[in-house]
Amino acid sequence: MGNSITEGWVGTHPEFFTENNYIGRGISGQTSPQMLMRFYGDVVALKPKAVVINAGTNDVAENTGAYHPDFTLNNIKAMASIAEANGIKVILTSVLPASQIKWRLDIKDAPQKIIALNKEIEAYAKANKYGYVDYFSAMKDEKNGLPEKLSKDGVHPNGDGYKIMEKLVKEEIKKIVK
């Protein structure tokens, strides 16, 4: 469950999804409240064993209004609670690194906002015994951004970036879904 990062992943490496019996539900540009609104149809109705939730990039980018970290975190918590209430195991992920948001150059503190949100997501995952995948630490450069070798625009991974994500998420799914 995600945004353009998930949508792009399915387009870049569709075999990762088909070979592992995964379904990618990403819609470009979506923020966490939009993802929450479609959570039942795109996750619960499909009755998966687990859900991987990647949300927050477009919230920080202020795609649908001012960024409020508690609002974003509460939307992620709501999706996790809905999944858990429906017998779906939960895996939360960090927001990917971004030193700047190319379509919102007026946002000067994206790395700081992402780092703070990631700390909250990780703490929530641990407190609730959910899985957690730290894409940020594995992919960040010295500016806490997504390096050129992993992305053309500093926000969306390329094939090499998705390979890193695939290894990390697959390991976590194996731990959670037995």
pLDDT at 45 exceeding the cut of 90:
yes
If you compute the radius of gyration of the chain from its CA atoms, what whole number of angstroms results? Answer: 15
The residues facing 132 across adjacent strands are 92
Contact 101, 134 (CB under 8 A): no
Per-residue pLDDT band for 29 (boundaries 50, 70, 90) equals very high
In sequence order, the β-bridge partners of residue 91 are 52, 131
State the total domains in the chain.
1
**Confidence band, pLDDT 50/70/90 cuts, at residue 13:** very high
For residue 11, the Cα-to-chain-centroid distance in whole angstroms is: 16
Quote the pLDDT of residue 139: 98
Average pLDDT, the chain: 97
What is the average pLDDT across 23-36? 97
> Strand 50-53's sheet: what is its strand order?
50-53, 89-93, 131-133
pLDDT tens-digit profile of 70-112? 999 999 999 999 999 999 999 999 999 999 999 999 999 999 9
Q: Looking at this protein, which amino acid is placed at residue 160?
A: D
Share of residues in the chain with pLDDT > 70 (%): 100
Domain ranges, residue 54: 4-176
CATH code for the domain in which residue 97 is found? 3.40.50.1110
Given a cut of 90, whether residue 178 has pLDDT beyond it is no
